[in-house]
Structure 1
């Protein structure tokens, strides 16, 4: 700084041009030091001095074998996969013009995992594809689906994250059910879902390393055209770029990179998001990083550094032997989730008013028609409850139920109904609670595609329950329910505390919630991996959502939460209508926006946490039921809430009945059946909004 004028001298052109070189040297040194430390870590008695002797031609044959067969393949796998994910994330962010696009948020990892698990579960032989081809097909299909449904306009950050998160949630739900139903055929694939760098020799790296290199070179050859596409489609077309072909080719190459990484080490989370995002953040101080000729190689180096660093940290925190059992992707997902939440706090939130969640729904129905519709739904609910009571592995008659109620039933009928009726009531209460929680979340977030599972509450509840299942032997229902509620409460505190800036804006809430959900899932995998193998089935059963073994005392938490929250919703139904419009209207009318939004979100969390504690993780009810209710009765929440509660109860009750009847005496988790129903509806809903029948907030 000039001591006379107090001004800072301008940065010279030469100094600015030297910054990329300094960054490259810094990353190279970081990777070199990390590699040296990495080679010195392991279970064998081989320290840094032994590695150094081997490098200069000394050392024993045993030491050389350990280095070549174990440590060097793991190191090279970390470098190859880090490069692949860094480049894939950078390209996906460019073609979608969205800083949050990655193999994670575009469901590439979830699609690849589902494809591999499905092939193993059903014993399908695909000699022309192999493991790499199966992972590639699953990842490509998921990414294309998300991009088609969310669009590539660059302004819909929440739209892309919602689409990718929901599709990934659906695929993970189906994957978990397959893991549960085909436990023998899919053994080892649950932990594989988080990714592990463990290798058996150099064969995998030798096969897939060249694939990564060729794909990266091809993308570098497209760098100039990717620059133009990132600036805008019209601008690129004016300069002669065939936007559709280049975008399609870039997506295929990016997914090929991600699929190669998945095939080599399994799905590694968030490296593809964090690495290019960090490089783009550095573009403000390091010139030329915004150009793909520099962005791609620097993202590759950053990805390698991040993954290598995560593996070094993993093996430093755990013993060498224990680190072999812990998926490396657990560490990268937790670190990446923290990075995403920090990024979400700084992302610019649009001040434009969002479309209310009732967009596209009718303005309302007459009072008479509403009463008729409500009456019909009540009758349908009664019919579903009666059918659920009569159907199952043992079919009953209505007279059997009458005799049971009057105390004149035989021991067989009594035993069946004493086990079945609490399950039916549990499904009914859980469906109602999840539907009400979803309706509140959608209204407060002003987004028809939001639901409590997407703001981290379900993930937190799942983490709490799995923690007590895996850490405490012989734990009972009340302990599971209590820890699930505690996990949901902690997730709520984290999400709300971080999203409080700006009055709980929906965009920030969704992004932070996605980060909390991802971190929760990684910790669940860590707990199951490190615990007794028998706990995996118990945890997956709970995560799949089931009413099995429920008694009337187990229904108390859900009943209490409904009794506690429903009066609050009756009182705040008018404020809920106003909050679903925009921020200015309720503020002008004297509604304390931030406080009301927080109170309603707390109600949504309480309902969701109670339902998850009662029956486990059941997906999509909080999305489907409220949206269907608005389509039937319009936008007024005085009508939407009771209709949504009835629809939610009907959906879960019917799903549970089908799950325990179709394969009787075997059973399918209720979560699978709701996912089967919910996923097609959600895809249609996304497509409807994508084509203009409704709008997202951008």
Structure 2
């Protein structure tokens, strides 16, 4: 153990030495060495004290806090995939900090840390309750954390868009940046982190006993409930302190304990928490400093100012999450088939639902054409259709029609893709976004937009489709281990989706760091500025792929049951899965290339359709398409109307609607912790 600590400290010293030599100024290693021996210049001293030392100390404190917090949360949930990210702690803390900034309140460091603590604690408690403390399996924990983080992230993005002046600079900070203007945050948060570290060490012996199980721990005299509360408070305190210093630095709390646990079997006693916790903290420092050093070594000192270090840690964390997911088998009872839980509905019910939804869709379409920053009348719409409207009315409706059409078509495409993915995964909580398909399509589209700003819609759609298929191929092939595991597919999809989000943020910040509004609008899904040619790829995708999926509706019914029944009835299981998922990926790519990243439509619409008309995909597919079209159309109309002339991206509203529904599903299907 002593050797492991010594080796880790040596690595830290070397990283710190390299870290101090990097920056935007001309001060190099030689200048710093002369400063150490008393022969340096005032310029070198000023650069060291004002810029490089605060950044180094910020990295040390953030890594230490997140490493210890991650190890504590993993022990609390008895789940190696638990971390401040997967439990939504960072998202909750970030939301509260942005909310305070949006209100125009400028808080000192310590009060800012306090509000971050409150937000992180609320998010962590919600995720732990939904996932039965994490003991119900890694898939449920990741899904609960993803849902809560997406909901909180949607509110945060909305505030950033509406209060751009008040929240200036918080977009890059929201990805985790070590840039510090002074030592205030570091000096004021250092005692808090030290207090959290001491408290975690005092709880270390209880964590050792708690790892044996709640019943055993209670028999041995450990107050289980009180211990869980204390550990949650300590880990959230550490995470909130890290967020206060540098923003939410992604996945450090996941990666750092994993590195220690890899060495654990080789070193007796290393897994005892009085050793595991501090060593995870040192490991977290190594992760953060390495990411920062590599970032500036590859892209230069200026990139270290513009590009958040958290993007690098998020990429590494996504890889580790995928690697961990590959080691897990299906959790069995935690999965629920997509259609077997639904009651059987009659044909009359189906046609009534279709008729009602069709009327709602027509009403939503008409309302979308009339609503906006300028409200029109049905007579104006009738005159426009007949070509008799005035110039001003014609201009307004000509602008609105492509937006309304794109919302309807993209909503239908995402809903059909979601219904297909849920059948293949046999999981009503799955959707194209959770499987990484949406993130991959968005990554391809954003890279194309940045490299070729004048690219045609066909080039944009093509690149989004290629990227979506490539992402799907990575998720599918990585999930394959002698067969396709549903839980493993979801977990790996979440990891790949996180990596895609990190790449999208990196590309936007690196190529156009000042265009934050465009970045957030694209990542939130918006119909703003859509034209008819941009809608054509989505229409073609629906025309070509929807009949193909409809033809395979019997196979989807069988896939939603289990693996054995389709094989007995002669279905070529893997080919059916592959074709269905490819069709879903292409539909998703077409929708993303048209309006950006819109989440939760592929989750809510199929699930609601299943509740309305039963589990047969003959009925689920058309009803889900209608529901998806209505949902996105209404969200787009509200986004254009509520705060006109300001506009809320449709994807934010669908996330705000879908995430609570997702949380409700998790709550309804929760399994009590043992």
Please give the range of the TM-score, normalised by the shorter of the 2 chains.
over 0.9
Residue 42, structure 1, aligned to residue 42, structure 2: no
Aligned to 1:14: none
Give, in whole Å, the separation in 1 of the partners of 2:633 and 2:45: 61
Question: 2:137–2:331: 8 Å Cα contact kept in structure 1?
Answer: no
How large is the RMSD of aligned CA atoms in angstroms? Answer: 2.2
Shift of 1:102: 0.4
Aligned to 1:466: 446
Residue 260, structure 1, aligned to residue 227, structure 2: no
For these two proteins, the number of residue pairs brought into alignment is: 674
Residue 348, structure 1, aligned to residue 342, structure 2: no
Give, in whole Å, the separation in 1 of the partners of 2:453 and 2:356: 47
Q: Which runs of 5+ in 1 are unaligned?
A: 1-19
2:583 to 582, 603, 606: 603
Query: CA offsets per residue over residues 250-297 of structure 1, 9 Å max, x none?
Result: 011101111111111111111110110121122222211222111101
Shift of 1:477: 4.6
Give, in whole Å, the separation in 2 of the partners of 1:648 and 1:129: 45
Aligned to 2:5: 24
Aligned to 1:421: 401
Shift of 1:350: 4.5
Q: Which stretch of structure 1 is more off in the superposition, 420-429 or 524-533?
A: 524-533
Q: Which stretch of structure 1 is more off in the superposition, 219-228 or 411-420?
A: 411-420
Aligned to 2:48: 67
Shift of 1:66: 2.3
Residue 114, structure 1, aligned to residue 71, structure 2: no
Shift of 1:367: 1.5
Give, in whole Å, the separation in 2 of the partners of 1:257 and 1:404: 60
Aligned to 1:183: 164
Shift of 1:612: 1.1
1:203 to 150, 168, 184: 184
Distance 1:246 1:382, change over 3 A: same
Residue 486, structure 1, aligned to residue 455, structure 2: no
Shift of 1:528: 2.4
Distance 1:278 1:400, change over 3 A: same
Q: Is the partner of 1:452 in helix, strand or coil?
A: coil
Residue 271, structure 1, aligned to residue 258, structure 2: no
Aligned to 2:561: 581
2:639 to 659, 663, 673: 659
1:76 to 57, 66, 69: 57
2:131 to 150, 157, 160: 150
Give, in whole Å, the separation in 2 of the partners of 1:416 and 1:114: 36
What TM-score do you get using the length of structure 2 for normalisation? 0.95
Question: 1:140–1:252: 8 Å Cα contact kept in structure 2?
Answer: yes
Query: CA offsets per residue over residues 546-598 of structure 1, 9 Å max, x none?
Result: 22222322211111111122112222111111111111221222222222112
Distance 1:426 1:568, change over 3 A: same
Shift of 1:478: 4.7
Give, in whole Å, the separation in 1 of the partners of 2:148 and 2:335: 23
Aligned to 1:334: 315
1:357 to 322, 333, 338: 338
Aligned to 2:524: 544
Aligned to 2:609: 629
Question: 2:329–2:485: 8 Å Cα contact kept in structure 1?
Answer: no
Q: Is the partner of 1:409 in helix, strand or coil?
A: coil
Query: CA offsets per residue over residues 17-40 of structure 1, 9 Å max, x none?
Result: xxx222222211111111122222
Aligned to 1:408: 388
Q: Which stretch of structure 1 is more off in the superposition, 139-148 or 250-259?
A: 139-148
Q: Is the partner of 1:227 in helix, strand or coil?
A: helix
Question: 1:310–1:332: 8 Å Cα contact kept in structure 2?
Answer: yes
Question: 2:339–2:561: 8 Å Cα contact kept in structure 1?
Answer: no
Aligned to 1:3: none
Aligned to 2:230: 249
Shift of 1:473: 4.2
Aligned to 2:661: 681
Shift of 1:216: 0.8
Shift of 1:73: 2.0
Give, in whole Å, the separation in 2 of the partners of 1:162 and 1:458: 16
Distance 1:473 1:564, change over 3 A: closer
Give, in whole Å, the separation in 2 of the partners of 1:477 and 1:571: 29
Give, in whole Å, the separation in 1 of the partners of 2:383 and 2:553: 42
Give, in whole Å, the separation in 1 of the partners of 2:482 and 2:123: 33
Q: Is the partner of 1:137 in helix, strand or coil?
A: helix
Give, in whole Å, the separation in 1 of the partners of 2:595 and 2:434: 18
Give, in whole Å, the separation in 2 of the partners of 1:33 and 1:128: 30
Distance 1:314 1:376, change over 3 A: same
Question: 2:457–2:533: 8 Å Cα contact kept in structure 1?
Answer: no
Distance 1:567 1:237, change over 3 A: same
Shift of 1:162: 0.7
Give, in whole Å, the separation in 2 of the partners of 1:580 and 1:184: 49
Give, in whole Å, the separation in 2 of the partners of 1:237 and 1:588: 48
Shift of 1:474: 5.0
Shift of 1:360: 4.2
1:460-539 paired onto structure 2 within 5 Å: 460-474=440-454, 477-539=457-519
Aligned to 1:283: 264
Q: Which stretch of structure 1 is more off in the superposition, 62-71 or 424-433?
A: 62-71
Q: Which stretch of structure 1 is more off in the superposition, 321-330 or 238-247?
A: 321-330
Give, in whole Å, the separation in 1 of the partners of 2:490 and 2:476: 11
Residue 377, structure 1, aligned to residue 333, structure 2: no
Give, in whole Å, the separation in 2 of the partners of 1:297 and 1:482: 49
Shift of 1:356: 0.5
Question: 2:336–2:428: 8 Å Cα contact kept in structure 1?
Answer: no
Q: Which runs of 5+ in 2 are unaligned?
A: none
Give, in whole Å, the separation in 1 of the partners of 2:105 and 2:54: 29
Aligned to 2:415: 435
Give, in whole Å, the separation in 2 of the partners of 1:286 and 1:155: 30
Q: Which stretch of structure 1 is more off in the superposition, 526-535 or 591-600?
A: 526-535
Shift of 1:321: 2.5
